[in-house]
């Protein structure tokens, strides 16, 4: 397994030089989050992730989780690492101060999460969903529910889950059957089975708070008849501690391709005591608070798996000697040259670098957007930012996980035959990353959400909100020779984006299948353009640094990677454009019976 080293130089470049988070935090009222605080948090988190979490990554994969009737045991070292995590306050970094949190910006918390997730994705999934659980209770719970659950969730003493799908319904939550029967005391008896529940059962905390979708008696059919419930593993007692055991249990854990150290559970609710959160029959609306955060967390998995694979591949490419450079020996005193001199190895490394650093820029930009939304001074500004994040979320989730499959496979390829061998750890990164395009809504579901629900349903308004930001950047920097070629490319792609959106809207009015047929290509096209915008912004900052006298090679590498992205990666948009415009017929005209 590659030894993880936190990419602090690039993290600080994005946060401090491109996004100027220190000023942004000050503007948002985070007076105690200056440069000293930011640096201290990043430095200490890096030490914890490099020295505690990273060494458990490969061993955790080999050992996996163990299921017994009385619970699930996590791999050796996981529980101790989690105790250090909460003792050092990492769980509460962005939690609300009124419930014991530090109240620091989400952007900073995301940077910590990136490091933990890259060091050990399986481990990070145990605390990872607790933030979404906390946010859901904070946004939709009663004051009593907040007072009962948030202090323990914010501190990390308890973890949280989201329990959505069931064996028969997959992503079609309108089909779920879990029942919620009212009781005289105001609670509900929750009965049903939920599957694919990450961290649904484990031995790292003394309570787990499940957020569960279920149906009330006589509820409307479909998604309009779903309510949301808090169902703790142990019912809190009067002192706020874990008390009586609830009738919720883990029936089994899945045997998976990857993330084997993360317990993916079948959860059985046998008349378990649940507490309604939010209005009746509006549970799915409330659950989107949780789901959208989980989708951004999955986008982060795309970033982190790319980063870890790149770190391993880069080290190997600099050390592995194979053949001679086509232009003459570069290691004349050795038997062969390091493979990093070969064009195809550089193609693979630069592809990883372009997607990894572009993904970090996008992810932190969205994190800052969330902070701005939460601190917005009026409802109109808050809604505008929320709408923009809603538009960006399916792009980030699907594009970053799809490209991570490419990048992690490239990392394994760079190792040649050794990449296929478990001891090097590169194949584990591939296995762990593969789930990203599936859970929290597959790529196809994210794509139809983007094109159908976000773009066409808004008559292009949500798309225009983003493209106006890019257009303003292009206008402001059109005369700058350092980014002028990138501006020209972006401007053309924005124009084509608008054109094909109108075309698909017209076609879909005649044949609804057209949107579904074009949706994945539309999403991938969108992702490449979004990353182009991210790279143009970073190139501008890097060029200014060089003009201001910096001779740091970091900036030269940033400019070169931007050039690589625009010249080698961004042209992929043309293929997606042609596929979108080819129509639904080449997918739908073949009778089902002829698939054989």
Instruction: Please list the active-site residues.
Output: 440
**3-state SS track over 565-581:** HHHHHCCHHHHHHHHHH
| CB count in 10 Å sphere of residue 29 | 10
CB 208 within 8 A of CB 201: yes
3-state helix, strand, coil in the chain (%, to 5): 60, 10, 25
Measured CA angle at 298 (ends 438, 357), to 5 deg: 120
Within 8 A by CB and 6+ apart from 247, the residues are: 269, 270, 271, 272, 273
How big is the CA angle at 213 (ends 209 and 218), to the nearest 5 degrees?
Answer: 135
Q: Classify 216 as helix, strand or coil.
A: coil
Question: What separation, in Å, do the N-terminal and C-terminal C-alpha atoms of the chain show?
Answer: 42
For tokens 């996590």, the residue is 74
Q: Which residue's entry shows tokens 């798309």?
A: 463
Structural tokens at position 350: 């630069």
Question: Which helix (H) or strand (E) is 230 found in, with range?
Answer: strand 227-232
What six digits make up the tokens of 351? 């592809």
Instruction: Yes or no: say if 566 and 492 are a contact pair by the CB < 8 Å rule.
Output: no
- What are the C-alpha distances in Å from 551 to residues 13, 18, 278, 544, 547? 15, 18, 56, 11, 9
What backbone phi and psi angles, to 5 degrees, belong to 281? 65, 15
CA 285 to chain centre: 20
Map residue 11 onto helix, strand or coil.
helix
What are the CA-CA distances from residue 561 to residues 148, 310, 410, 451 (Å)?
Answer: 49, 14, 17, 30
In angstroms, the CA 371 to CA 23 distance is 13
Closest CA to 114 of 103, 123, 122, 124: 124
The candidate with the shortest Cα–Cα distance to 275, out of 126, 125, 143, 169, is 143
């Amino acid at each position: 397994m590659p030894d993880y080293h936190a990419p602090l130089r690039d993290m600080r470049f994005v946060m401090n030089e491109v996004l100027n988070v220190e000023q942004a935090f000050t503007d948002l009222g985070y007076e105690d989050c200056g440069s000293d605080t930011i640096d201290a948090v990043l430095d200490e988190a890096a030490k914890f992730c490099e020295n505690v979490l990273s060494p458990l990554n490969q061993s955790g994969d080999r050992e996996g989780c163990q299921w017994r009737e009385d619970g699930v045991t996590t791999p050796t070292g996981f529980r101790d690492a989690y105790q250090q995590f909460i003792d050092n306050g990492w769980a509460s970094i962005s939690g609300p101060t009124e419930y014991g949190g530090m109240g620091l910006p989400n952007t900073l918390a995301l940077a910590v999460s990136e490091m933990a997730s890259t060091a050990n994705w399986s481990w990070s999934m145990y605390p990872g969903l607790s933030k979404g659980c906390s946010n859901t209770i904070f946004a939709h719970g009663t004051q009593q529910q907040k007072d009962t659950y948030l202090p323990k969730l914010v501190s990390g003493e308890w973890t949280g889950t989201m329990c959505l799908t069931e064996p028969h319904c997959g992503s079609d939550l309108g089909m779920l059957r879990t029942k919620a029967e009212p009781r005289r005391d105001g609670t509900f008896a929750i009965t049903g089975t939920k599957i694919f529940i990450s961290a649904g059962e484990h031995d790292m905390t003394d309570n787990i708070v499940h957020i569960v979708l279920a149906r009330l008696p006589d509820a409307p059919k479909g998604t309009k008849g779903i309510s949301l419930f808090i169902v703790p593993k142990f019912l809190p007692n009067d002192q706020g501690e874990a008390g009586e055991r609830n009738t919720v249990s883990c029936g089994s854990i899945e045997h998976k391709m990857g993330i084997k150290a993360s317990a993916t559970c079948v959860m059985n609710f046998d008349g378990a005591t649940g507490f309604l959160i939010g209005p009746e029959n509006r549970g799915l609306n409330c659950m989107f608070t949780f789901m959208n955060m989980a989708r951004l967390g999955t986008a982060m998995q795309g970033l982190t798996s790319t980063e870890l694979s790149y770190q391993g591949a880069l080290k190997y490419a600099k050390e592995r000697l194979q053949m001679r450079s086509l232009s003459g020996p570069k290691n004349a005193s050795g038997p062969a040259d390091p493979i990093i001199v070969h064009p195809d190895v550089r193609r693979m490394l630069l592809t990883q670098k372009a997607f990894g650093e572009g993904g970090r820029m996008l992810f932190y930009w969205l994190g800052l957007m969330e902070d701005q939304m939460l601190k917005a001074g009026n409802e109109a500004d808050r809604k505008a930012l929320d709408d923009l994040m809603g538009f960006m979320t399916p792009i980030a989730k699907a594009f970053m996980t799809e490209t991570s499959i490419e990048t992690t496979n490239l990392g394994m390829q760079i190792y040649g035959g050794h990449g296929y061998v478990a001891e090097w750890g590169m194949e584990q990164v591939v296995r762990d990353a593969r789930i990203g395009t599936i859970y929290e809504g597959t790529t196809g579901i994210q794509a139809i959400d983007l094109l159908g629900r976000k773009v066409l349903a808004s008559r292009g308004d949500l798309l225009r909100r983003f493209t106006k930001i890019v257009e303003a950047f292009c206008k402001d920097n059109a005369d700058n020779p350092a980014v002028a070629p990138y501006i020209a490319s972006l401007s053309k792609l924005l124009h084509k984006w608008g054109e094909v959106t109108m075309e698909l809207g017209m076609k879909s009015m005649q044949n609804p299948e057209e949107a579904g047929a074009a949706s994945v290509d539309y999403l991938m096209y969108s992702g490449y353009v979004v990353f182009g915008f991210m790279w143009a912004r970073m190139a501008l900052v890097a060029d200014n640094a060089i003009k201001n006298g910096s001779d740091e090679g970091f900036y030269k590498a940033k400019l070169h990677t931007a050039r690589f992205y625009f010249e080698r990666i961004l042209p992929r948009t043309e293929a997606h454009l042609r596929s979108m415009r080819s129509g639904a017929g080449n997918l739908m005209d073949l009778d089902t019976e002829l698939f054989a």
